[in-house]
Structure 1
Amino acid sequence: MVSPDDAAVAIVGDDAVHRVEGLPGEAAPVGLTLALGRLRALGAVGLRIALPAPGHPLGLSGPPEFNARALEAEEAVICEGAALGLVPEVYEAGPEGDVHVEVVWHCLPVREAPPADVPSLGEAERELAEALRDATEVLTRLDVAGSGPVAEAAVAAYRARAERGREVLAPGYPPRAVRVLELAQRVGVLVSLASENGHGGAVSASEMVARGEALRPVERVARRAQVAAYNSVVVERGR
């Protein structure tokens, strides 16, 4: 549990400004600190993340209008204890050479129902291990398993960031959630490398299709695991 001020600082990070529009009781967009305080007053006791993708409404509960916006943004936040959700819209502003990021969060009604397709931490950990093993076997055979100097440098950079003490989750999360999120993020790095490094050794159409089929469930499992890890504190508190 943190104050709205501390939460706002953590959310904004290096961005220039975050505003929330559509908040009940507010006719105009408001700052993030005020918005978080107002959401708490409206009954929100926590925030859950959703990371949907086309064909996979991960973490969403409806209604269709909210789901459509969240799918377009590929992320959303759902209030626990208040039937409201927030979808970010990101802008780049400022002159060339001094561009900064601004975010407007659109506040919309949501359906109070269990979020779609979110596993437990235990399920997420098992799925990650199985998916990574199966995908590595296929990708290695196709010579696109994220090998070579570019992939090695990217994975080394990821490890260096972790070793510098970067907290992947705020204090108070269970150790298993930290472990699951770290593995999910590493899997995400490897999937991105395999997706971005051209066709590698996959020289035939059938091999390219096989690579895509191998990567798709791994990316899906990694997103599910991230949602499970981020939402674990809210889930535990609800129990």
Structure 2
Amino acid sequence: MLSEPRSGRLAAWGNALLAGLVSLDDAALGVVGEDTVHRVEGVPGEARPVGLTLALGRLRALGVTGFRVALPAPGHPLGLSGPPEFNARALDAQEAVVAVGAPYGLVPEVDEVGPPGDVRVEVVWHCLPVREAPPADVPSLGEAERELAEGLRDATAALAQLDVAGSGPVAEAAMDAYRARAGRTGVGRDVLAPGYPPRAARVLELAQRVGLLISLAYEHGPGGAVSASQIAARGEALRPVERVARRAQVAAYNAWVEEQERG
């Protein structure tokens, strides 16, 4: 989920649309990305699922002035504001988009169809009522950047100690991410739509690097950790930084709304 959530694409390109920086068609193309098709079910006034262009246009007409991202996990309702029904659906999907200016939220349902080698990804967004309230546990962009740098530093030190001679793939990925935290590879800029501040791209890029680190850690298992206690220690080192990385991603995608609210 940390690489590029679909809710991030929807919020980023939806905000670019609301800012007048892209057309409805371009916004829809940005949201769909490499998927086959996206449709939206439950749009007010529509009895059937509709395309993204119609849904985004209708939400804009209903008073939506921005889009926020939520990336909840068990025990951490990051970005959610209720009601419980919406929160439960968002938690099941591990992501959601919450509108600003009108009480609506969108949760994706992803379906892969077709034979191996020709798999098509179809997404249905469920438009549901949400509570208009401050989202849970969302940091400012500045707070997220500081948290992420500190969390990555601590995780890098812990993982390097757990890998034998510091040569395990997880430790190497951690060191690469830590050294590159001030680098500029353009990952965030490729994901974010027009209108976002450069700092948001920088924070998103680092959060995605951390997401790669976490994925490697789980894919490669214990690596150099040779005891149950060391395996448990690796999990303890990863959990806080994974939480910080999700907070940073939410802050980056929400940066456009944050700027609008500041003036």
Whether TM exceeds 0.5 here: the answer is: yes
- What is the distance in 2 between the residues matched to 1:137 and 1:207? 14
* Residue type of the alignment partner of 1:238: E
Q: Percent identity?
A: 76
Cα deviation, residue 150, structure 1: 11
- What is the distance in 2 between the residues matched to 1:132 and 1:165? 18
**1:204 matched to 2:224:** no
- What is the distance in 2 between the residues matched to 1:139 and 1:213? 10
2:121 to 95, 101, 113: 101
1:117 to 125, 130, 137: 137
* Structure 2 gap segments, 5+ residues each: 1-18
**1:28 matched to 2:48:** yes
Matches within 5 A, 1:1-239: 1=19, 2-143=22-163, 147-148=168-169, 162=185, 167-239=190-262
- What is the distance in 1 between the residues matched to 2:137 and 2:145? 15
- What is the distance in 1 between the residues matched to 2:172 and 2:191? 22
Go from structure 1 to structure 2 and tell me whether the alpha carbon gap of 1:116 and 1:33 turns closer, same or farther (over 3 Å shift).
same
Cα deviation, residue 34, structure 1: 0.3
Cα deviation, residue 80, structure 1: 0.9
Cα deviation, residue 95, structure 1: 3.9
Backbone CA RMSD of aligned residues: 2.3
Contact 1:90 1:103 in 2 (8 A): yes
Cα deviation, residue 94, structure 1: 2.8
Contact 2:169 2:223 in 1 (8 A): no
Q: After TM superposition, what 4+ stretches of structure 1 lie above 3 angstroms from structure 2?
A: 144-152, 161-166
Structure 1 range deviating more: 163-172 or 10-19? 163-172
Structure 1 range deviating more: 87-96 or 33-42? 87-96
Go from structure 1 to structure 2 and tell me whether the alpha carbon gap of 1:164 and 1:209 turns closer, same or farther (over 3 Å shift).
closer
Paired residues in the alignment total 234
Structure 1 range deviating more: 57-66 or 88-97? 88-97
State the TM-score, normalizing by the size of structure 1. 0.91
Cα deviation, residue 128, structure 1: 0.7
3-state SS in 2 of match to 1:117? coil
Residue by residue over 1:161-216, the C-alpha shift from the partner in whole angstroms, topping out at 9 and shown as x without a partner, is 94699623222211111111111111111111122212112111111111101100
Structure 1 range deviating more: 221-230 or 166-175? 166-175
3-state SS in 1 of match to 2:112? strand
* Residue type of the alignment partner of 1:176: R
Cα deviation, residue 58, structure 1: 0.7
Residue by residue over 1:118-176, the C-alpha shift from the partner in whole angstroms, topping out at 9 and shown as x without a partner, is 10111111101111111111111110778449966xx79xx9x9469962322221111
- What is the distance in 2 between the residues matched to 1:215 and 1:164? 22
3-state SS in 1 of match to 2:46? coil
Contact 1:49 1:230 in 2 (8 A): yes
Contact 2:188 2:205 in 1 (8 A): no
Residue by residue over 1:25-54, the C-alpha shift from the partner in whole angstroms, topping out at 9 and shown as x without a partner, is 111111111000000011111111111111
- What is the distance in 2 between the residues matched to 1:132 and 1:163? 19
